[in-house]
Structure 1
Amino acid sequence: MRYWVIIVLFCVMTFPAMAQQHQAELPYRLVGGKMIVEMKLNGTLRSFIFDTGASRTTLTSELCRELGLKVRDSLSVTDANGHKASYPLVWIDEIQTPDDVFRFKSVAAMTLPEPSPLACFPVDGLIGSDLFKQLIVVIDGKKKTVTITTAEKESAISLRKMANFTQAGMPIISIQAGSGHNIVCLFDTGCPRFLSLKKSDFEALKSGSAFEFQSEGSTVGSISVGGASATKVAQRVSFPLLSIGGTKFRNVIAETATPPYTLLGVKLLDYGKVTLDYPRARFYFEPYKPENDFMERSHDVGLQVKDGDLVVAAVWGAMKDVVEMGDKVIKINGKPVGRYDFCESILNGIPELKAKKKTRLTIQTRLGEKVIVY
């Protein structure tokens, strides 16, 4: 759900009496890797994906029809999968926090196409960074809260845990890979991973010692405002060391994609609290531990639901000689598979694949049945 907007629009923020610092707390829940918050839209509570990587608040076409919102303009967008398109723009009279502490008036919002790429999620759109350009936002992954405050006072967090935005209004920062290699990243809570590496950054870094190449594969991209991407060739790498706001992360695995920036995703919140001081263009990361070692293994085969079937949607390394994109899973641990719902798989996964650490998959290939360990 991340995208780059090439024109800038503004909304007006109001709140009661300015005599003191004001604060609102938004609980969030994680659904299918997305942060879901409640906001009032023209006085009615609605659910939205909280997406710091979106520079524009966005509504579904269905909601725009329900509210009778008229198209006033259009917006040129490149989404996280590299899709470029122009989308209708509408104006919202008012968006409020549920406690009415903050009221954002005359908000310009992008309208999603139909069918909505967010159709699987119980939401009416995205809340983007545009609402918070005058505010400080604190995201606490342990408490599952987003705290919004007015910005009269700067944060008391140590500057050693701070990185400056490289662009005003968006949490785009520089992180360090190894020693002496910098990567410009967008902190994007709409990205379900820890790190998604922009292909051009991969090309720029591969001649150095910033990462260790692991394998090449074929994969289908994640869902963004323009929908899912077609099959593409991607690379998988391991970063022996990444430094984010002074915190060290070791053995971080990332795969290449085609977003406008390398993405630092929502899984960062598993390791610490993030503060975004939008007016001062500052990103703070308060880690739960000063150093984190991932030491994780990645699947060499990825799966997704298509037309009710469970099919191969990513193939890495030597597994490319075993199965192909689109091959169908016919048995899991020796039991014939049933039919699956695409949205249910996005939101809650495949139950049979979560039951054991290792799962035997029988896959129908063009050369016959193959059994692999997933």
Structure 2
Amino acid sequence: MKRVLLLLFVSIASVHCFAQQPLSNDKGGTTAKNYYQEIPYEDINGKMIINVTVKGKAYRFLFDTGAPVLIGKEFITIADAIPVQAGQVTDVNEASSAVSILRVPGLTLGNVEFKDIQAPGYLPDFYKCWGVVGSIGSNLLRTSIVQIDSKKHVIILTDQPDKLSLAGKQSIPLILDTIQSDPKIKVILGNNSDMTLGFDTGDNGFLRIPEYYMTGLKKSNVFKLLAKGYGASQVGTSGLEKNNEKYMLTFPVFNVGDVKFKNVIVATSKNNIPGIGAKLLDYGIVTLDFINSKFYFDATTQSLDLNEKQWPFQPGFAGNQLTVGVVWEKGQKLVKLGEQIIDIDGTPFTSVDLCYLINKKAILQGKEKATVTVKSATGELRKVEMQKEFLK
């Protein structure tokens, strides 16, 4: 379901819901026919916020294709949601939480009403940072065609492909699971290899992969190891991931349909759920045809080089403090994991608010070098000079 880039990656990516007994969340839907709705969204640092109407009143929801519909506790009564069964949700770090699975009588997007949609009654505390009462996910969208245009900040919801001028455009298969119609695609790598990834608008990054994906692809020689590190960089619905080894990889070939990406860089996590995030929308329009199981990516250009310079360590967040979250090999002589970051280029960070970090652009965005004041475990302050550089 999510990842929020600070430079720090705060994540709640790809929430999956399972009942204690086998139960699909693909229940309910709309009886509307020949519908076409343009739904505007607010972009908060890569998070897509839409209005959903219940009983004639609009409420803010996160738009998240990497999760089922979720509703918060205070919204359960408002929506007259009815308990169906006990279950659990699993977040980006594959940590699970017990929940009650509910049936929501009615949710309206634009003028299209969806009835009896199943939703876990569960919303992490930091969703308050976006002022939302829930999220709209793949199990509600499964009977529609969804097109997302990030330039216009519009989501189109329809059952009429002709309205989207898709005829003649190249598509690739859209793979849907049987639990919540979670949408997945295969991207093509070098040496006739591929990789299956969930398309997750709840993650504002470009790519996330678990360490076991890296292990499985080693023999195919489709990536290059740029750096090794250690630390934690993702916050899921159940909290911060545990410190683990990290690997920074680059994929020289990474094709989405007929669009060729080069030098796609990603840092692994131990057990996260593989996915491609909303950053893909920076490069073109995405259409998820749930009805015909097709994925379209209409890019602004057919070849894109994503190679970029990297920092020697990444900030993290713990207990209202900005900390050293991940240390790469080139940062080992500069900082120690967990040290508090007090100041960056004259901006103090003695105490930080998670919502501020989530909703603002990455702290180091736009910088090529920085002076960072860190505080050691013994209370000693020191200034560290660091700069970005290309890794080979």
TM-score, with length taken from structure 1: 0.89
Which residue number in structure 2 is paired with residue 12 of structure 1? 29
Q: Measure how far apart 1:355 and its partner are.
A: 7.4
In structure 1, give the amino acid aligned to 2:220.
G
Instruction: Determine if contact 2:93/2:241 at 8 Å carries over to the other structure.
Output: yes
Which residue number in structure 2 is paired with residue 32 of structure 1? 45
In structure 1, give the amino acid aligned to 2:115.
K
Q: C-alpha separation between the residues in 2 aligned to 1:147 and 1:155?
A: 9
In structure 2, give the amino acid aligned to 1:109.
A
Which structure is higher in RCO with an 8 Å CA cutoff and minimum separation 6?
2
**For structure 1, which runs of at least 5 residues remain unmatched after alignment?**
none
Q: Measure how far apart 1:22 and its partner are.
A: 1.6
* Residue deviations 1:35-61 (CA, integer Å, cap 9, x gap): 11111123321111111111x200112
Moved more, 266-275 or 353-362: 353-362
In structure 2, give the amino acid aligned to 1:44.
K
Q: C-alpha separation between the residues in 2 aligned to 1:170 and 1:155?
A: 22
Instruction: Determine if contact 1:322/1:370 at 8 Å carries over to the other structure.
Output: no
| Cα gap change, 1:361 to 1:324, in 2 (>3 Å) | same
> Is residue 82 of structure 1 aligned with residue 94 of structure 2?
yes
Q: Measure how far apart 1:171 and its partner are.
A: 1.7
> Is residue 287 of structure 1 aligned with residue 302 of structure 2?
no
| Cα gap change, 1:361 to 1:162, in 2 (>3 Å) | same
Equivalent runs, 1:103-142 vs 2, <5 Å: 103-112=113-122, 116-142=125-151
| Cα gap change, 1:204 to 1:144, in 2 (>3 Å) | same
Q: C-alpha separation between the residues in 2 aligned to 1:252 and 1:355?
A: 19
Q: C-alpha separation between the residues in 2 aligned to 1:73 and 1:324?
A: 46
Which residue number in structure 2 is paired with residue 365 of structure 1? 376
Q: Measure how far apart 1:167 and its partner are.
A: 2.9
Q: C-alpha separation between the residues in 2 aligned to 1:286 and 1:107?
A: 31
Q: 1:317 aligns with which of 310, 329, 332?
A: 329
| Cα gap change, 1:330 to 1:156, in 2 (>3 Å) | closer
Equivalent runs, 1:168-183 vs 2, <5 Å: 169-183=181-195
| Cα gap change, 1:354 to 1:193, in 2 (>3 Å) | closer
Give the secondary structure class of the aligned counterpart of 1:120: helix
* Residue deviations 1:89-133 (CA, integer Å, cap 9, x gap): 1221110013x2x100111111115x6242322111111011121
Q: C-alpha separation between the residues in 1 aligned to 2:42 and 2:50?
A: 7
Moved more, 170-179 or 330-339: 330-339
Instruction: Determine if contact 1:198/1:260 at 8 Å carries over to the other structure.
Output: yes
Q: Measure how far apart 1:161 and its partner are.
A: 2.8
Q: Measure how far apart 1:210 and its partner are.
A: 0.5
When the two structures are aligned, how many residues end up with a matched partner? 365
RMSD (Å), alpha carbons: 2.4
Moved more, 28-37 or 161-170: 161-170
**For structure 2, which runs of at least 5 residues remain unmatched after alignment?**
2-13, 388-392
Q: C-alpha separation between the residues in 2 aligned to 1:85 and 1:111?
A: 11
Equivalent runs, 1:332-343 vs 2, <5 Å: 332-333=344-345, 337-343=349-355
Which residue number in structure 1 is paired with residue 171 of structure 2? 162
Instruction: Determine if contact 1:38/1:48 at 8 Å carries over to the other structure.
Output: yes
Instruction: Determine if contact 1:32/1:347 at 8 Å carries over to the other structure.
Output: yes
Q: 2:212 aligns with which of 200, 203, 221?
A: 200
* Residue deviations 1:13-72 (CA, integer Å, cap 9, x gap): 133xx4xx3201111122133111111123321111111111x20011232255554433
In structure 2, give the amino acid aligned to 1:361.
V
In structure 1, give the amino acid aligned to 2:31.
T
